[in-house]
Every structure is written in structure tokens, then in C-alpha cells.
Amino acid sequence: MHITVVGTGYVGLVTGAALADFGLNVSCVDSDEQKIEALSSGRMPFYEIGLKELVNRNLANGRLTFSTDLEAAVRASLTVFIAVGTPDLPDGTPNLTQVDSVVAALAECMDDYKVVVTKSTVPVGTARRIQRLLTGKQRRPVEFVVVSNPEFLREGSAVEDFMRPNRVVIGAESDRAVAIVKDIYRPLYLNETPFVITSLETAELIKYACNAFLATKISFINEMANLCEKVGADVHHVARAMGLDKRIGPKFLHPGPGFGGSCFPKDLVALARTGRQLEAPQRLAEVVMEINRRQKERVFSRIKAELGGLERKRIGLLGLAFKPNTDDIREAPAIDICRRLLEAGARIQAYDPVAMPNSRKVLNDKNVVYCPDAYAAAAGVDALWIATEWNEFRNINLNRIKSVMQAPVLFDSRNVFDPEKVRALGFRYFGTGRPGPPH
Ligand code: UDX
Ligand code: UDX
């Protein structure tokens, strides 16, 4: 079967390459010529574990091709996945311009029965809107069906998540389209991956419900962490004991500086907005966002308070990405908090294994120095702050770090280190949700 995937961002590229690996013939189409040229020669536009190998393997066997020619790809395909970006507008609503322009182009070039699948996270009602737009804009009407097939990929394990999903959600109102999409995912079906077949609106809402719930777990544990600090309890033990209750589950209970990334913040805003518009307020989602904002604020205030002000203070920053194993800095707490530290007069020496080039684009400030490693970032600083839990930080030589710092103050937003061990080395150590330094 031939498939077109429009958009070679995170979602589109992983989807296209993985479907080619399932044995399908996939054309990945993007309007960005440079991106297509790079991808055709095996160069990735972003870092994602296992993706380069997946793309190159399927480029080599000829099942995966990259092109800017939407029309040719669509004519050869039975199914078209829409995976273009849906960034936030200033008012928090998702910008559907990219989706709309793809839909307009599809209406022009669909020549036969097509299944049009939305992969991007889009507000509830978008699939039906696409259906209307396509019907209205088609010059030579051909039969088509719109399907909602939300993705649940995590950056840093997107390939693995695609190959071994917990479930596949298919929102569609035609048995024929369901059969076609199921056939695309046949290798998973044979693996006994559960399929949830449902209406368009339900499928669209499932994605928001999942992300809002996961974000709620994080905000819950972050608030619990703040209370732990006050009463002298350890949030990790609280989370572990909670997680052992099968009704709660152990995942997404890691406290930190707040969640970031391209999905949770954006999807919460969209969900809250839909709720307000339709008079079914999503108060929990609203509060989760507020707690997340305050969590970042807390990190800033704590660093400021412990250093007795920030004017001309030098701070080493380890980790810029919104989480490890990605170079993505969208909505990264590290970047957000870093901006505030800079505004308050601090100077930053930053290091991240892969996110520095992206960070440079948004934090291009003479008071940010990008360093070749963690030791260089710690050299001469008044405090070291770990904002992202890259594995390589777990193994840094803390004695060496301490010897190059101006003062041995460590803010560990992700609880990478064992407080007792670090304190025994002579650091003033501040974790998240763990008992503070002895008074
Ligand atoms: C995706 C989804 O869109 C979003 O809803 C989800 O929540 C997270 O992931 P992402 O894949 O990260 O976003 O998007 P982005 O990196 O912006 O990539 C979109 C691509 O589509 C770009 O390469 C862009 O050039 C391409 N595009 C856009 C087209 O090919 N044609 C267009 O008309 C518009
Ligand atoms: C998320 C969803 O997990 C995925 O299913 C969806 O398709 C897209 O959004 P992603 O944004 O890639 O994936 O990352 P995720 O691993 O969920 O982490 C999001 C943020 O939450 C990160 O900033 C991370 O550091 C933070 N987080 C996560 C915590 O602070 N604590 C946790 O316990 C888990």
C-alpha cells in the first residue's frame, strides 16, 4: 500500500519512517525544500533516538521517499496522513493554518477515493471541519473519508512508542476507512495491541484527556514535593508508595521544575479553552497550568533567595532541553527560568549534550556562555543548577565540580543526586521535595 505523510516534524517523520518499516511504501512530503533535500540524503532535522537508522534503512530499501510534490504523492496513495505543525497563537488557540493549507492542496489534487488521517493534535471538531472543507473545495468531487488517529509519541522514545504503543485510537465513521487504517497498523494488530475504534470527536478528545491527565499527575507530585520540603518528608518515597497502588501507577510522578515540551502546555491551554467556549469548564486543567507556572517561579525564587540576590551572580546550568534525550527546547523550564535569571542580572554558563544549538537561537544573550562540558559550566560559578536529568550528569565527578566552583551550592531540580552523599562532599544541596540542609 502507498501512503503519504504530510509534514516532516517530529510526528510526521517518525510516523512515515516507522510505517515504511512496517513494509508500506511511504512518501513523506514537506513544503520546506531544504528539509526534504537533507532528509533525502539521510540528514535529520532534529535529534531522536533510533530515527536516523530507521530513516536510512528505509531510504536504502526504497520504501521511504522524501518529496515536496504533494500532488504526485497523493495521486499514488490511498491514505494521506496530515502531520503538520499546530503551534499556539498568542491567545493560546492552536494555529491551524498549516492544516488548512494542506487541506486546500488536497482538495485540488485528490483524484480517487482517499482516506485522510489527522495525526496532529487538533481541537475537537477539526476532523469534521476538514471533512466540510474538503467537500466544499473539491473541484472534481471524489469520495473520501476523514479519520482521526492521534499520536501518543514521547520525544526521546518516539520510535519505540510508535513500534510498541499501549493502544491505537482510530476515530472514523466508515467501516471501509477503519479497515484500511487497521491494515496499515497490521504488524501491531498481530502483536495484540489494543485498538480503540470510536467517533471522530471521541478520538480527538482522547488525546487531550491523556495529556491533561498526565500533566495533572506531574503537577500533583510537584505540589506534594513542595509540602514535603516544609514538613521534612521525602517526595520520592511518597511517590514510590503511591505508585505501588495499582490504581495510581508509578509513572509521571517525578517532581521537577515543571513540565514543558511541545504538547502538555499547548494541549492544556487548548483543552481549557474548548471547555470555556462550550460551557464545560475544565477547572482541573486550568489549575494544573497555574501550578506548573508557580513551580517554575519557585525554582527562580529559591535560587535568588539562597544566593542573596542575582545581580552579577554566575550560575552554571546543566541541561537546557525540556527533558533528556532530545534537543527540543520548546516550553523548556530551563529556558523559561534562565530568562528570568538573566533579567534579574545573573550570568549563565550553560551546558547541554545536544540542545545548545537550539538554545542559542532563542537565548542569544551576551550573558549566556555555552560551555563544552559540565566542568566548564561549573567553573567559577556561585551555584550550579541541574535543570534536565541527562544521564551523563549522574556520573559527573562531583569532587572535580566542587574544586572548580566559586562556592559549592547545588540546585538539583530533577533530584539527580543522593542528598546525603552530595552534602557529605561539602555541597550546600537543594533538591526538589526532599528534606533541606540540616539547620
Ligand atoms: C506535531 C503536531 O503537529 C502537533 O499537533 C503535536 O501536538 C506535536 O507534534 P511537529 O511534528 O513537532 O508537531 O511539527 P513541526 O515540527 O512544526 O513540523 C511540521 C512540518 O510540516 C514542518 O516541517 C513544515 O515545513 C511542514 N509543513 C507545514 C508542510 O509540509 N506543509 C504545510 O503546508 C505546512
Ligand atoms: C508527551 C506525552 O507523554 C505523549 O504521549 C504525547 O504524545 C506528547 O506529549 P513529551 O512531551 O515528548 O510527550 O514528553 P514527556 O515525557 O511526556 O514529558 C513532558 C514533560 O513533563 C517534560 O518536561 C518532563 O520533564 C516532564 N515530566 C514528565 C515531569 O516533570 N515528571 C514526570 O514524572 C514526567
Residue nearest atom 18 of ligand 1, based on CA coordinates: 9
Q: 4: number of CA atoms within 13 Å, CB side?
A: 27
Residues 322-342 pLDDT 10s: 999 999 999 999 999 999 999
To the query of whether residue 371 is one of the catalytic residues in this protein, the response is no
Answer yes or no: is 218 within a domain.
no
Which residues make Cβ contacts (< 8 Å) with residue 385, sequence separation at least 6? 299, 303, 315, 316, 317, 318, 410, 411, 413
How far, in Å, from the CA of 193 to the mean position of ligand 2?
A: 22
> Are 265 and 409 in a shared domain?
yes
Task: Give the model's pLDDT for residue 65.
Answer: 98
Residue 212 lies in a domain: no
Number of domains present in the structure of the chain: 2
The pLDDT score that the predictor gives to residue 93 is: 80
Q: For residue 94, which atom of ligand 1 is closest to its CA?
A: 5
Structural domain boundaries enclosing 260: 232-430
For residue 437, tell me if it sits in a domain. Answer: no
Cell triple for 18:
516507522
330 lines ligand 2 (CB under 6 A): no
Pairing state of beta strands 428-430 and 168-171?
A: unpaired
Domain check: are 31 and 88 in the same one? yes
C-alpha cell at 178: 477503519
Whole-number pLDDT of residue 436 = 66
The CATH number that applies at residue 129 is 3.40.50.720
Please give the number of the atom of ligand 2 that sits closest to the Cα of 267: 9
**What does the pLDDT read at residue 94?**
86
Q: Which amino acid is present at 329?
A: I
205 assigned to some structural domain:
no
Is the same domain home to 158 and 238?
Answer: no
> What is the predicted pLDDT for the residue at 439?
47
Q: Which residues contact 102 (CB under 8 A, 6 or more apart)?
A: 6, 7, 70, 82, 84
Residue 367 lies in a domain: yes
Q: What is the pLDDT of residue 120?
A: 86
Query: 13: Cβ below 6 Å to ligand 2?
Result: no
Q: Which atom of ligand 2 is nearest to the CA of 252?
A: 33
In this structure, which residue's CA is closest to atom 21 in ligand 2?
259
Q: What is the pLDDT of residue 139?
A: 83
Say if residue 146 is in the same domain as residue 245.
no
Binding site membership of 326 for ligand 1 (Cβ less than 6 Å): no
Cell digits of residue 9: 516534524
- Order of strands across the sheet that contains 25-29: 64-67, 25-29, 2-6, 79-82, 114-118, 144-148, 168-171, 195-198
User: What phi and psi, each to the nearest 5 degrees, are found at residue 139?
Assistant: -80, -45
The verdict on 316 and 425 lying in the same domain is yes
Residue nearest to atom 16 of ligand 1 (CA): 9
Contact present, 157 and 49 (Cβ < 8 Å): yes
Residue ranges of alpha helices (H) inside 232-282 are: 235-243, 264-277
pLDDT in tens, the chain (439 residues): 999 999 999 999 999 999 999 999 999 999 999 999 999 999 999 889 999 999 999 999 999 999 999 999 999 999 999 999 988 888 778 899 999 999 999 999 999 999 999 998 899 999 999 999 999 999 889 999 999 999 999 988 999 999 999 999 999 999 999 999 999 999 998 888 999 999 999 999 999 999 999 999 999 999 999 999 999 999 999 999 999 999 999 999 999 999 999 899 999 999 999 999 999 999 999 999 999 999 999 999 999 999 999 999 999 999 999 999 999 999 999 999 999 999 999 999 999 999 999 999 999 899 999 999 999 999 999 999 999 999 999 999 999 999 999 999 999 999 999 999 999 999 999 999 998 665 4
403 and 261 in a common domain: yes
